[in-house]
Amino acid sequence: MYSAITANKRKTWILIFIACAVIVVFSAVFGVAYDLDIGSSIVIGTMIASVYSLISYYLSARIALSTSGAKQIQKADNPELWNLVENLCITDGVPMPTVHIIEDPSPNAFATGRDPEHSAIVFTTGLLAILEKSELQGVAAHELSHVKNYDIRVMTLVVVLVGALTLLANIFLHTRFRGSRKGGDAMIVLMLVGVLLSVLSPLIAQLIKLAVSRSHEYLADASGALLTRYPEGLASALEKISQANIPMQQANQATAHLFIMNPFAGKASKLFSTHPPVEERIKRLRSMGG
């Protein structure tokens, strides 16, 4: 467990480094296209990368919550849910996260934040409607395990990285460098890079999400089951969510990997799904109980 936490912290800084390196490289390319000093372009790119890293680190959770339509609640809004989460936090020795609800008939949940002290746990109204208390405990324990294991920091930063790759691809494809004194060659190279990036960025983003999500889901399943001492609760919850098969109304590719179950439901390809097969997850959980 501790080695998994250490690995997640390391992955965070690797992701930030990759994002900064990409921005610096693009700044240098833009500088070449505009006949600017390459050193100045790199300095500007480094400054932009630094600001981007800070925004990613401190605001990525807020971005994930906003794009999913999550609304924060207080204890008086849903005392039963609040007490359930609070009791699990006390048992597991983690700080109480902020609790949010998404008005959506699709049963799902996710956690986000940069560390246990700055975390949020989110449930859809569809999830709250179909789960029994023991099943909801299993889901909440799964998400709190993401918090304790620092999965949330890595997975939330991926949201920003995916957005950055898409944005850079669009800039490259739609920018016209008419002011460049280097003529058509620089523009042709730039456009080729833009086309290549636009083609590869969805694949790169998907590979990143696959790398950080699938193994983390298995780990959070196991950790959550150990927390509740009742693996069947989470197994039954996953079964119900899978059988409901309702895609989320505000689902998007950038945040799909955050959820306990793929928010696109039956529309998702198993090969490129950010989540491991639900049948395998349920099988592993039930083997813990027996």
> What's the pLDDT tens digit per position in 212-249?
666 788 889 989 999 999 999 999 999 999 999 899 98
Instruction: Give Cα 66 distance to the centre of its chain.
Output: 13
Amino acid at 246: I
Residue 278: CB atoms within 10 A of its CB come to 19
84 vs 189, residue with greater confidence: 84
Distance CA 73, CA 57 (A): 24
- pLDDT for the residue numbered 205: 62
Give which of 160, 199, 204, 196 is closest to 29, Cα–Cα. Answer: 196
Q: Is 94 exposed, middle or buried (0-12, 13-18, 19+ CB in 10 A)?
A: middle
- pLDDT for the residue numbered 21: 75
Which residue range(s) make up the domain with 253?
A: 2-289
Distance CA 85, CA 89 (A): 6
Q: Do 107 and 241 form a contact (C-beta atoms < 8 A)? A: yes
Distance CA 287, CA 221 (A): 12
Average pLDDT in the chain: 80
Catalytic positions are 143
Distance CA 139, CA 263 (A): 15
Domain total in the chain? 1
Which tens digits make up the pLDDT trace of 29-64? 666 666 667 777 778 777 877 777 777 778 878 888
Q: Cα separations (Å) of 72 from 63, 65, 78, 190, 261?
A: 14, 9, 11, 44, 21
Which tens digits make up the pLDDT trace of 162-183? 666 666 666 666 655 544 555 4
Q: Which residue has the tokens 């605001």?
A: 59
Q: Do 195 and 255 form a contact (C-beta atoms < 8 A)? A: no
**CB within 8 Å of 49: residues ≥ 6 apart:** 19, 20, 21, 23, 24
Instruction: Give the CB-side neighbour count of residue 46, counting CA atoms within 13 A.
Output: 6
Reduce the DSSP state of residue 42 to 3 states and report it. Answer: helix
- pLDDT for the residue numbered 51: 78
Distance CA 238, CA 64 (A): 22
Q: What is the pTM of this model?
A: 0.78
Distance CA 251, CA 187 (A): 36
Reduce the DSSP state of residue 113 to 3 states and report it. Answer: strand
- For strand 98-102 and strand 71-73, is the pairing parallel, antiparallel, or unpaired? antiparallel
- pLDDT for the residue numbered 270: 55
130-138: average pLDDT: 97
